[in-house]
Amino acid sequence: MKTIKYLMCLFVLLIVLILVFPAGLNTQSSQAGVNWKGQNWYLTGGKANPGNNYWNNTGAWIDDQNRMHLTIVNDNGKWKCTMLNSQNSYLYGTFTWTVASPVYTFDKNSVVGLCTYLDDYHELNIITSRWGEPDGNQLWYSIEPSKIEGNSKDYLVPSSIEGINTTYRIEWKPNYIRFTSTQADGTVIADYNNTNISSIPKEPESIIMNLLLVAPPSDGKNIELIISDFTVTND
């Protein structure tokens, strides 16, 4: 009788384990993250906007030079992008990224976003992308809602500039927002200052860094973005 009761207990335990951990289930949380530049950065998983992309919650890593890598990879025919969201939120400040990768040569269907974000109506964006076009502007600044006149600006970057070791800066102040992009030697690529007070966000926002797609890469290859530095100052 004891043997039968023991076997029944094992059977019940087995059923519980199957229900809790179904076969093939990825139990890693979509909030998995990496620690970089003094805070945790949480990765998005599953399928979600922007772009209704599939997101890889293991798609970012830190190399031995303390540089952040974001990836787009083909996972059994499914393209998976990477999005990081900062642990900390900020109200005003200067946000500076140094990007080691030649972003202006990236596939036409890729999008690199360096942003502050509260919701779709309160965000500041620096984006490098061709939005699927073989030619055209590659650098975009926007304050959401971007449909308001003066809240967005885009630029055609000369083909001689690949984007290696470029610096991108958002100065978010109570009375202006300034976007600046510079080459490694300090030469300004694009600079835009918005002083429309009504457009300036007045609530704390987190930092988002993402590498996403508007369509599968036209060359069918994986993509890797390297961000070598990120700083926030409140001066």
Q: With respect to CATH, is domain 31-233 assigned 2.60.120.200?
A: yes
pLDDT score at 121: 94
pTM of the full predicted structure? 0.85
pLDDT score at 33: 86
Q: Which of 34, 42, 41, 208 is nearest to 118 (CA)?
A: 208
In which band, very low, low, confident or very high, does the pLDDT at 235 lie, cut at 50, 70 and 90?
low
Residues constituting the chain? 235
Start-to-end C-alpha separation, the chain: 76
Residues 38, 166, 174, 155, Cα dihedral to 10° = -150
**Mean pLDDT throughout 225-234?**
97
Tell me: pLDDT of 92 over 70: yes
In which band, very low, low, confident or very high, does the pLDDT at 229 lie, cut at 50, 70 and 90?
very high
Domain parsing of the chain, residue ranges: 31-233
The secondary structure of the chain in percent helix, strand, coil, rounded to multiples of 5, reads 10, 50, 40
**Mean pLDDT throughout 196-213?**
97
What radius of gyration, in Å, describes the C-alpha atoms of the chain?
A: 21
Residues 45, 50, 53, 56, Cα dihedral to 10° = -30
> Around Cβ 178, how many Cβ atoms within 10 Å?
16
